[in-house]
Structures are given as C-alpha cells and as structure tokens.
Amino acid sequence: MKKIYLDYAATTPLDPEVFNEMSIYMKDLYANPSSIHKDGIAVRKAIQQAKHTVADALNADGKEVFFCSGGTEATNWAIKGFAQAHLNKKRIITSQIEHHATLHTCKSMEEIGYEVIYLPVDEKGFISKEDLEQAINDDTLMVSIIWGNNEIGTIQKIDEIIEICQKHHVTLHVDAVQMFGQMEIDLEKLKIDLLSLSAHKFYGPKGSGVLYVREGLELKPLIDGGNQQNGYRAGTENVYGIIGFAKACELVKKKIDTYPRHIDMLATALYSKLRIAIPNLRLNGADIGNNRLLGHLSLSFSNCNSHDLAFALDAKDLYVSTGSACTSTSITKSHVLEAIKLDNHYATIRITFGIHNESKDIDDIADRIISSYQEVKN
C-alpha cells in the first residue's frame, strides 16, 4: 500500500527550499554570530535579517521577534517571564483545553503561589466571553489562550478575547503554533501582546521557535548567560534553525492563498465520504468552516478503542494520531476530550492534511479508515 501521512498537526516535513537555505549555515557559514571576524559578522547579519523576515510575515517589528527552541519554550517564557517582571499580580487565566506547554507551566505557577483560572469550554471547544470577563479582576496578571486547538481544531474567537483583554487592560498571550500558515496574522491589527510560534508546524525545522513580544512589554529572560538577542535569550544562537524558521515564514507568505484551500478541500471531501459510510461518526470541535483549523479532522467512532484503530490504520500505512503528539502514547483520556464531555464509548483519531496529500487519494484513505473501523469495533 502507498504510505499516506496524515499527521501534519504533529509535525510537517522540512521544505526542500528551507533545507537548502539552512545547509549554507551548516556547511559554509558556520561561524559563531558573536565572533567579530567577517564570517561571524555575516552570520549575525543573517540572524538580523531573519528577524525582519519573521516580523514581516506577522506585520510586526524585528525588535519584537525573539528566537527560541520551539513553541513550548516560547509559551513558558511568555508566562514565566511576564510574571517575573510583574510580581504584584498573581492571577493567570487560561482554558481547560490548552496545550500541555501552557497547562504544565500554569501548574508550576500554582506551586509558587499563583492562582490559575481554567475556563471551561462548550461541546465545540469554545470558551465563553462572559466567563472570561467574569474571571478578570484587579489581581489578574495575564490571559493565555490557545488560538487553534491542536487536538480538536477549534479556533477561538480571538477578536472577542482581544477586546475583553484590552477593555480591562490585561496582557494577552496567544499560543498560535497551529494557526500560522492557516491564515494571515496581522499583529498591527490584532492587539496581541505575546505570541508563540514553532517552525516545524509549517515546514520549517524542529527545535526552532519564536516568541513575539509587543514593543514596550516588560519580560524577564528564562535563560541567563551571554548577551545574545539583546540579553533576552542567552546562548549561542541556533543559526540554521533561525534561518530555517525565516525561510519557512517566507514560503508561508507566498502560499497563503493556495495552501489553506488545498488542505480544506481534502478534509471536507474525506469527512463527507466517512459520514455516509459511518452514520454515527462524530466530528469533535467546531464545525468545518471559519472557526475550525483547515485540514483538521478530530473523529470519534463508537464502540472501539482509539489505539486499536490507530494501529489498524498504521498496519495499512495510513499514519494518523490519537490526539496531541505530546500525549499520543498515553493510555489516559485526553484532557481536551474530557473538557468537551466526549462519551467514553467513543474512540478518537486525529487526521490532519498537508502539502503532500492529494485529492486522488481521498477514496483510498476513506476505504482504509472504514475497513479498519470494521475490524476493530466491538
């Protein structure tokens, strides 16, 4: 059987153009960017250019872009770094369906005396703007919200969240790891204060992330050491990771009018076929449309086990996940599925489309899923 990868929300393959750009800094321009000789200066200039490339993709300023090791570090830094710079406030507001980078960071903040409010979500995965507004008080440090949920695909109504945070003068951090590449993100229009990104979600390298910090916002560094990135993130820069991040951003901007439509068409076509063949199939999260990640299907099947279904599909060379890649090997139920109150009798897989998927394979994909379900259901 043809191998078909349907786990793009977990990671994407490295784009060949990104690799070619990175390879220059692996083989030839390998100097330390803190060195004062010609090659070191050339590498430092390349990093500065990369900042501006990323900033341009976000309609931001290069001074607001800080490179780090990925979305997890960016989110840790946003929450802990902001808290350390503003010790007078002790309430953090987030949701029950955040990525573990946020949830575990918030748990660690609770251990040192912070109060964390975990907003509930409805059956589609949306927080309530009334709940958010009621949770804000004079002691609120910040709000941290995942924009596009990695497990169920729900896109929060970010305009409403921004409006509430601005009304109450509360700092907003947004986990945009799944959103970048899905739509244009204009941070001149969207008044988000802190934003996390990870390159390997949009065909860049693993181990390369960005934290956007709106100019004028005070943030403490997580890592002490040298004066790299103006003293905000010490340690010799991951040069080829940074170059790869910037090149991937450049390619996203070029493909923003075609790529989202491509993966949306594939997901819509597959879901239509599966609904006919499996009448009790459930789509988790928001309905397909403007409030759902494009190319993302979180599907629940009655009377079978998630891992059994995933392994049956794996045997047919169809690669999906049972949820977040960070928790896919766990036998415990997903905190996201618990939050939307999914019945325990359902097994859930996550199918996410990407650049190498083709419309001609949709019938084959549907057949493999249907036959695998028939094999494993009770």
Q: Is residue 154 within 8 Å of residue 286, measured between CB atoms?
A: yes
- Give the CA count within 13 Å in the CB-facing half-sphere of 269: 17
- 157 by Cβ neighbours in 10 Å (0-12 / 13-18 / 19+) ranks as middle
- Cα 327 → chain centroid: 15
Distance, in Å, from the CA atom of 131 to the CA atom of 136, rounded to the nearest integer, reads: 9
Distance, in Å, from the CA atom of 42 to the CA atom of 29, rounded to the nearest integer, reads: 8
Q: Is residue 365 within 8 Å of residue 1, measured between CB atoms?
A: no
Distance, in Å, from the CA atom of 7 to the CA atom of 177, rounded to the nearest integer, reads: 15
Instruction: Tell me, yes or no, if 106 is annotated catalytic.
Output: no
Q: At how many degrees (to 10) do helices 306-315 and 362-376 cross?
A: 130
Contacts of 169 (CB under 8 A, 6+ apart): none
Which member of 68, 106, 249, 326 is catalytic?
A: 326
- Give the CA count within 13 Å in the CB-facing half-sphere of 315: 12
Active site residues: 326
